[in-house]
Structure 1
């Protein structure tokens, strides 16, 4: 029995990941009397129902051996008390037939799973053993008669951690922003275990966050600039929404290495969840270098970390494509379209949200899935200057920032369903890395970035039958290096 078979052995097969909400009644005796419960029989949101077959999987590296009693107590005190994590979806007894969130009893023995893998496989390659086990989480069933979340604990050292914990949660519980915020609420500062970790205040910008009208004292020029920005915002929004609907209804991308292979029916291949550590200092260096050279007339143009990461992604996918496709025309610009998920919550201080959770006011926090989508084209081409990947990414992202496409796609998705049917500790254990991802069945490739301390994790969820995931991770690392090396060389100014 290899490590994957050992991981699967003994697991229940009560219900598959794609099954619908239960047709059962839950006794009111199961309700917890905690004051934080405020969601009795709350309808599952349309977005939550759309995400019925999707799972969020977060791999967490611990810097100390797993102390199960301490970990269990922390999960019980900090996470299991929240309403969404002690409820299930039921349909029986409701006139409209739509699922509701109903309280249920939480037995931590069902949700904290300690796995003993094949000793020979662990001894031979512990990193591979963890990777193989986490890959099984994309196909393992989960019992929908209890709250749909679980921690899988692997208590052996790897190259990056002393022990590993994998969280699997149903996507309807919340999007990655909501779940990671709640997960951070379970952590504490290593320097002071009595307080939450110090988190930076988000500095989000862009037209999607409502540029306010300038006061009269600002003068006519400021008013004209504001009026022009509103006009551009409206035009871009209309064009993007039309393009989104046209893409969904009529347009199909040609087959490339990045499009999901047709397997017939719903027999999708298993996903692998892999990650690689990148240097945040290198990303900042590239950003700062481009900030020094990009000008439009006399207007300073700011490059962001996200611009750099989109450029690195484009470069990595280009390298992978031309190596594996057989296409030799590396200067011919190809496009393929991706879906970029956008958090449409208004800008808010993460610290303020964490404090509300800490005070027991989690009902005041917007849980669930507050997601919009934008179509983000990726350029597949081999540039002579690696910095051109970031410049092209910046032009694309800047254009998308001046649009409300994400808000409209969120509304369209919900309306369609209605009409048609810093160093921290996790529960007493120091964290060495966090690698969040998601199992999205229709997609062959899903990419996440997560920054922590002075590093960035690139996390891939890949169809293991379609991708050489190690080679693709190497392409991300080499692309960042080549762009960083290009930023070191003096190249003069780039006038747009």
Structure 2
């Protein structure tokens, strides 16, 4: 990939470097055994990472105050932080590796920006805890592309000569039957209606409408509060079992059902008074609008004179869930989640939110665009993302990777959730403002229990389908 010297940032990249919406991705790789600094340096030196223009460029400003990328000579040792000794309180038996690493990352999310006197990435080696933390500024690119670039340094455990792969998301169009003229007209009508409704809500959220107060809602200034990070662990097989219980359901539908049920459970247990039935909690999800072909895309981008464009191109979706007391059928959460997400996917909300952001950025500048995004965050309740990782186990420098998890800088939300799948598992990092949610382990347990309860209900459907007929939602 060839770029001109001092290339300008993309609109989304400019958004991610504004103080109110500054975002750093913190990705942790668990290792089967510790890795040394010399091995790490060797892997980076031989990788595509230091050949990629974004990873060898400084963030600078021109005479007009616009952010640009300026290519420099990279000093690898400045990007490697080696911590050989164990962290945490060794006298506490409950301070296991996972807790210590999560606490370390939680501190990074609120108090440790990346230095702008070097390219915006770092690798922290936590040798005693058998993991590495890769810190990447979101202005460098979107999550899928950055993950794909990272995986070029890895090889499959089953075949040491091949890189792990990420399966591109399947197109939902392939599941649709050919529609009649009346069907296409009805679909167009629904698309228009849902788009108008959701864009009106989007506008109101950016100005004055906000979620009602609950035990899990943050607001302006909460992004500066101390954080705590915990991990909710799911089995992809369990999620697929639940997925099979309702026709045409996706893993994202299951994830949102789990979040809806889990938050309802948590509020029921930890609210000073029971919330009003049906109270809304709105999530914010970023939708990648740039087609991605995974690692194959990286190869194309690195070619000279490639027409492929690196960077961020994303829209925003507002995803509402509602508090409900646990009823007799836990799959009701799934049916409600599917109905809501199907309507969202039918609309043009993500595409138009990107276009509006681009227009505001171009006409009024990055500060105003950042302020509008910040207002939306302040007026909603949580952030959610889901990234599909490799299906097969992989290794780096010959060391098998046991898990891969990710989270980002703290936002004005009290809860930020990032799920990533890997080798049959799905780990969700739950970053909370610990003054509002002092025991996030309970919240993680609520999510895990919600999935298991839905799985049991789904298995009953499989045993007796006539008694529990499938419902398309």
Partner in structure 1 of residue 265 of structure 2:
319
Q: CA deviation at 1:240?
A: 1.6
Partner of 1:333: 278
1:280 correspondence with 2:236: yes
Moved more, 64-73 or 117-126: 117-126
User: When the two structures are superposed, what TM-score results if normalisation uses the length of structure 2?
Assistant: 0.84
Structure 1's unaligned 5+ residue stretches are 1-35, 158-162, 292-301
Q: Distance in 2 between matches of 1:426 and 1:395?
A: 41
RMSD: 2.5
Residue of 47, 51, 75 corresponding to 1:107:
75
CA–CA separation in structure 2 for the residues paired with 1:309 and 1:401: 16
Deviations 1:319-361 (A, max 9, x none): 111111133367x211121111111123x4325324436x656
Equivalent position to 1:63, from 2, 15, 32: 32
Q: Which residue matches 1:179?
A: 146
Q: Distance in 2 between matches of 1:486 and 1:60?
A: 34
User: How far 1:194 moved relative to its partner?
Assistant: 2.5
Q: 1:434 aligns with which of 404, 418, 432?
A: 404
Alignment-derived partner of residue 257 in structure 1: 215
Structure 1 match to 2:224: 268
| Post-superposition offset of 1:261 | 5.1
Aligned partner (choices 314, 329, 332) of residue 371 of structure 1: 314
> What is the correspondence of 1:391-470 to structure 2 with a 5 Å cutoff?
391-421=335-365, 422-467=392-437, 468-470=439-441
Superimposed CA distance per residue, residues 413-471 of structure 1 (whole angstroms, 9 cap, x where no aligned partner): 12212222211123433211111111143222111111111111111121122212211
**3-state SS of paired residue (2:280):** strand
Aligned to 2:116: 144
Once the two structures are TM-superposed, the CA of residue 65 in structure 1 deviates from its matched residue by 2.0
1:14-71, Cα deviation, whole Å (9 max, x unpaired) = xxxxxxxxxxxxxxxxxxxxxx442421111221121122211111111222133222
Structure 2: runs of 5 or more not aligned: 366-391, 462-466
Which has the greater radius of gyration?
A: 1
2:16 aligns with 51
Asked whether 1:164 is paired with 2:164, we answer no
CA deviation digits over 1:103-144, x for unaligned, max 9? 122111111111144567357433332222222212124321
Q: Structure 2 CA distance, aligned partners of 1:63 and 1:364?
A: 39
SS of the aligned residue for 1:290 comes to: coil
- Partner of 1:3 in structure 2? none
| 1: CA distance, partners of 2:10 / 2:298 | 23
Q: Structure 1 residue 304: deviation in Å?
A: 1.1
- The answer (yes or no) to whether the contact 1:190–1:424 under 8 Å persists in 2 is yes
Superposed displacement of residue 267, structure 1: 7.4
Structure 2 vs 1, CA of residues 244 and 119 (structure 1 numbering), >3 Å: closer, same or farther? closer
CA distance in 1, matches of 2:29, 2:313: 24
2:371 maps to which residue? none
Give the aligned length.
430
In 2, Cα distance between the equivalents of 1:416 and 1:232?
27
**Is the CA contact 2:79–2:123 (under 8 Å) kept in the aligned structure 1?**
yes
Q: 1:31 matched to which residue of 2?
A: none
In the alignment, does 2:249 pair up with 1:303? yes
Asked if 1 retains the 8 angstrom alpha-carbon contact of 2:27 and 2:134, the reply is yes
